[in-house]
Amino acid sequence: MTYKAPLKDMLFGIKHIANIDAVAQIPGFEDAGYETAQAVLEECAKFNEGVLSPLNWTGDINPSSFKEGKVTTTPGFKEAFKQYTEGGWQGLQHPADFGGQGLPKTIGAACIEMCNSANMSFALCPLLSDGAIEALLTAGSDELKATYLEKLVSGQWTGTMNLTEPQAGSDLALVRTRAEPLPDGTYKIFGTKIYITYGEHDMAENIVHLVLARVQGAPEGVKGISLFVVPKFMVGKDGSLGARNDVHCVSIEHKMGIKASPTAVLQYGDNGGAIGYLVGQENRGLEYMFIMMNAARYAVGMQGIAVAERAYQKAVQYAKDRVQSRPVDGSIAASAPIIHHPDVKRMLMTMRAYTEGCRAMAAGAAAAFDAAHHHPDAEVRKQNAAFYEFMVPLVKGYSTEMSLEVTSLGVQVHGGMGFIEETGAAQYYRDAKILTIYEGTTAIQANDLVGRKTARDGGQTAKAIVAQIEATEKALAARDSVNARAVLKRLTAARLALIDVIEFVAGNTKASPNAVFSGSVPYLMLAGNVFAGWQMARSLLVAEDELAAGNDADFMKAKITTARFYADHILSKAPGVRDSIVEGAESVTALALEAF
């Protein structure tokens, strides 16, 4: 099945939810208004629909392979990556100073979604390079920037993140890779890193590894971790490639999904030590790595939206084609396409509403990122930074958990054929599962939401953001429409439920941590649901206005219906989730360990 980029919905979100024209008022983004967004997205759609999408199934059945230390990617990937870089897609969001196009995240996020819908395994390579670029821009020395950034931004070289070790998964305090300082200011790196996405491949001439390691004598725990650049090939002063560094791929993983993306085990220092260059200051590596991780966490949220969109499109096509049973209302006398059945419509509407809700939530977060990093007013930057930081675990956690439900429903719509690999529906389900795990599991996103984002300031940031929902409620209350009233009822109940939970979390994290953290993931899912539902309510208001003005009636009617569905079937779950968090902790923790 071919992928068709949902340009109308993306541009609706960019224009009305992210308010791209306000973003274009920020210095440096003057040329990045709605018309630019439309032109860039249309070009991006052509590339992803025509080049990357056809390779998606190929990558699943013919994944990357490993032989004698070398990784060969799926046939067609190398050529596609060349086209990707020549088109300037790697540098879309990165500074013009290093050869990028300097476009806002508000536009870039939609392009990331398209790339991942078309081919998630492929898209992981530029995703990791984006994270490496962000870290070097923020913490790299002028020399490191001059040596690596232009080649990374162009896509001539690619980047990786090296955190995990066999004994250190999410607990980075256990990192044992070591760095020995040399007299010339470089370091020798020794250790093993696992789960390194595109840690070895044949698509670019050099790979720039960003590696967490401990300098000899550093403090124990996370406070003693430093960050290093370790190139696959050494780079000369003139930018030319020299000798192979002492970092080697010893195997790649055999995975449930994203099979075409090589997940490498990398060995550093088997032949005397890999040469590494310190990023920033010693013992501040985790701080710098979080820059990469925040960029990557948002992008993984976009992956969730992307795979959900692809699964939805495939399910709709199948439901229109598959003839099975007469409709229950007797509207057709013979067997008919299954899209006529109410339960199939319910599944398709669930898939659609979740995907559109998360896309709108991510668009709003992207606009906040742009203002937080580029707005001339310090107070505006501060407010938007707080909003964006709060939204990152929601975009990552809620959108990826959502994608599991949506891709599972996609298999269900296909019935028995969904369980057969040749239909392709199962690939999206398998690919989606990793999204709730890598770049920090859903529980880690929830820990971040509870600890850093809610308890630390007594829930003040969370409450301030939730308070913004009331303006949307007032706008809904002013409407004389059945749909607006229905959405208002659900949104108000959901907001009040979320406030109760914020107060519970802020008031009990120190005194009763087990009680709070037993409901941490439900809290994240509740917050994600409410914020996505808020954006769907905003979308309904816009769509009603656009419909009244006679603009694109079919699209606007569908948007109104989808927003109403989100409120009735998804947002309506909020009060029950509130009860499970605030009143249900005891039953989570009560069972004796030996009883499990």
Tokens, residue 348: 């398709």
Amino acid letter at 483? N
Do the Cβ atoms of 395 and 362 come closer than 8 Å? yes
Between the CA atoms of 116, 119, 125 and 131, what dihedral angle is there, to the nearest 10 degrees?
Answer: 0
Per-residue DSSP letter, 52:
I
Instruction: Tell me which of 150, 282, 401, 439 is the catalytic residue.
Output: 439
Q: Which of 150, 112, 139 is CA-nearest to residue 297? A: 112
**What is the enclosing helix (H) or strand (E) of 108?**
helix 105-118
Q: Which of 34, 35, 61, 82 is CA-nearest to residue 423? A: 61
269 CB neighbour count, 10 Å cutoff: 23
Tokens, residue 306: 């992307």
Do the Cβ atoms of 44 and 123 come closer than 8 Å? no
Give the integer Cα–Cα distance in Å for 79 and 77. Answer: 5
Answer yes or no: 439 catalytic: yes
Provide the pairing of β-strand 263-268 with 247-252: antiparallel
Exposure letters 26-63 (e unless 16+ CB within 10 A, then b): bebbeebbbebbbebbeebbebbbebbbebbbbbbebb
Max CA pair span of the chain: 85
What's the number of CA atoms in the CB half-sphere (13 Å) around residue 47? Answer: 24
Give the integer Cα–Cα distance in Å for 324 and 321. Answer: 10
What's the number of CA atoms in the CB half-sphere (13 Å) around residue 306? Answer: 28
Q: Which of 22, 16, 110, 15 is CA-nearest to residue 371? A: 22
Do the Cβ atoms of 196 and 247 come closer than 8 Å? no
Q: Which of 80, 96, 363, 302 is CA-nearest to residue 204? A: 80
Name every residue whose Cβ is closer than 8 Å to that of residue 105 and which is 6 or more positions away in sequence. 93, 366, 367, 369, 370
Tokens, residue 58: 């190929």
Apex 146 CA angle, 140 and 148, nearest 5: 75
Exposure letters 377-413 (e unless 16+ CB within 10 A, then b): eeeeeebbbbbbbbbbbbbbbbbbbbbbebbbbbbbb
What SS3 class is residue 158? strand
Distance of CA 487 to the CA centre of its chain: 27
Do the Cβ atoms of 303 and 122 come closer than 8 Å? no
Phi and psi at residue 226, to the nearest 5°: -115, 165
* Catalytic residue annotation: 439
